[in-house]
Structure 1
């Protein structure tokens, strides 16, 4: 068995087909099929079963793939650690962020990291569902993740970076733009641009609406904070987002709220984090995690 075979099997499981896995890996389809058959022969088990919706792992396959993911991640990290020097760091770093967190801070930290270590490959993605981030963390495929909730101490080390205050974004010409801070009860009766129901951001908004006895009219649901802000700016409805998630050019439409709505920003690092994760953590600590750094409401 080889790590390459593990990577092929993981790609098939992720994509649900050999063809899609081959495209993902940039290799020929027969090569993937051959490696999977060879792996199954060596193991003496079937890793996948064909269904109307594609290839899915068998019970044995799922157990194998969990260990294969750990092995692939460990190999990648071992290579990065072995090649790390005082002025050089190579390998791959996989970073994830709960949607809405670190929207302005993470790019700055990653840019500084890449300038310091230009040979380091960094993959970053944003995920709205905290449960999915937790699942990926348990699989060992994430090196560092930004979350708002406490992380699983069995799989990661938590580092509190700061707190993120939420702001309400209003449409151009909205009656409440004259205020420096908006009382939440003043938003009663406003239509809302909300987020996917299983997202952490919509969970925050749902709690805010309930705690302040607001009866919302949901006019739209979106999957990106930038989309919510832009739609609110056009007057479709108001929205509530982390302050740093307000795109440039829309700061004048954002206002802090009272009672204050905020959440912690936690960097969760896998146990035994390598030099790349440690370097990124230190750069993130240097970023500003407070809304006042991003906009000043216009009276």
Structure 2
């Protein structure tokens, strides 16, 4: 077996046919077919079901392709490190961000990283849930994950700072009269919330707690910008990280009293190379909200 066969199988699975895969790979169709047959013969299993509509991975094929993707990713990283000096680093860097966290800080860190390694290709994926980030990590598809700290945060996570949350209120809302808004002042307001099982909705669940009366949900959205815009149109109030508020809506935001913030951490793959190490350091240098220390009890 070879990495080329792995790559061919991955492209066939994505393209759905040998013909389409050959076009993407820019090789002759018989070459792709031969490599897939040889791979299946060596493994002793059928990786693809051959249907009238094309090729579809079998059950064992899907399991194999997950591991093949991890192997190909690892090979690319190893090749990039081996062929490049620190000042001429090339290759791919895969970064996943938990939706809503690091919105202000990550672009600056990536800009500085690109300035240092202009030939480095960076792919960023937004993932709303911690479970989703874990799945990507187990499949070997991530070099660095930026996420909110929670009970399932890995022990080797690197603390970066905190994301401060703000309430977004509609024009004329009574809460805009003060510098901060108390949660009980929002009693009776409907809420624009986020997808269930996501980190942002978990923060809101924690904040609302046992609120009485039980808050109603006006809508659920997937993006922080959508939540802010809908709240600004009076659909309901929402709670988002301050760094995610689009320009032009800041006047409709107020911090809660008492304040709400969430620790943010970075998780770097084991055996991190110079690109991951540099990005982690650049993220640390960004401007994160720092929560004041709690007073000591005498």
Figure out how many residues of one structure are paired with residues of the other and give that number.
287
Q: CA RMSD in A?
A: 2.8
Cα deviation code 1:172-224 (max 9, x no counterpart)? 22221121111111111111111111322112212222244452221111111
Mapped partners of 2:63, 2:116: distance in 1: 39
Change (3 A) 1:75 1:263: same
Residues in 1 aligned to 2:50 and 2:168: alpha-carbon distance in whole angstroms: 48
Instruction: Extract unaligned runs of 5+ from structure 2.
Output: 292-298
State how far apart, in whole Å, the 2-side matches of 1:64 and 1:225 are. Answer: 36
For residues 258 and 49 of structure 2, the distance between their equivalents in structure 1, rounded to whole angstroms, comes to 53
Partner of 2:7: 7
Q: How far does the alpha carbon of each residue in 1:105-136 deviate from its partner, in whole angstroms, 9 at most, with x for none?
A: 10111011111111000000101122111011
Q: Give distance in 1, aligned partners of 2:153 and 2:19.
A: 32
Name the residue aligned to 1:269. Answer: 268
Residue pair 2:12, 2:55 contacting (<8 A) in 1 also: no
Q: Output the CA distance in 2 between the equivalents of 1:83 and 1:26.
A: 23
Residue 132 of structure 1 aligns with which residue? Answer: 132
Residue 228 of structure 1 aligns with which residue? Answer: 227
Aligned residue for 2:70? 70
Match of 1:296 in 2: none
Deviation at 1:171, TM superposition (A): 1.4
Q: 2: distance between equivalents of 1:54 and 1:209?
A: 49
Residues 208 and 87 from structure 1, CA distance in 2 versus in 1: closer, same or farther, beyond 3 angstroms? same
Measure how far apart 1:257 and its partner are.
Answer: 0.6
Structure 1 residues 28, 194: CA separation in 2 closer, same or farther (over 3 Å shift)?
farther
Rounded to whole Å, the distance in 1 between the matches of 2:25 and 2:238 is 41
Matches within 5 A, 1:151-162: 151-153=153-155, 157-162=156-161
**Contact 2:16-2:54 at 8 Å conserved across structures:** no
Higher Cα Rg: structure 1 or 2? 2
1:164-183 aligned at under 5 Å gives the runs 164-183=163-182
Shift in CA distance, 261/85, structure 1 to aligned 2, threshold 3 Å: same
In the alignment, what sits opposite 2:96? 96
Partner of 1:278: 277
The Cα of 1:91 is off from its aligned counterpart by 0.6
1:17 matched to 2:19: no
Q: Flag the 1:11–1:252 CA change in 2: closer, same or farther, 3 A.
A: farther
Alignment partner of 2:219: what SS?
A: strand
Counterpart of 2:243 in structure 1 is: 244
Q: TM-score, normalised by structure 1?
A: 0.85
Q: What per-residue deviation string (whole Å, max 9, x for no partner) do you get for residues 215-268 of structure 1? A: 222111111111111111111111111111111221221111123222110100
SS of the equivalent of 1:290 reads coil
Compare 39-48 and 265-274 and name the one that shifted more. 39-48
**Structure 1 unmatched runs, 5+:** 293-299
TM-score (norm 2): 0.86
Task: Report the more deviating stretch, 200-209 or 109-118.
Answer: 200-209
Give, in whole Å, the separation in 2 of the partners of 1:41 and 1:96. Answer: 36
Query: Residue 91 and residue 234 in structure 1: after superposition, are their counterparts in 2 closer, same or farther (change >3 A)?
Result: same
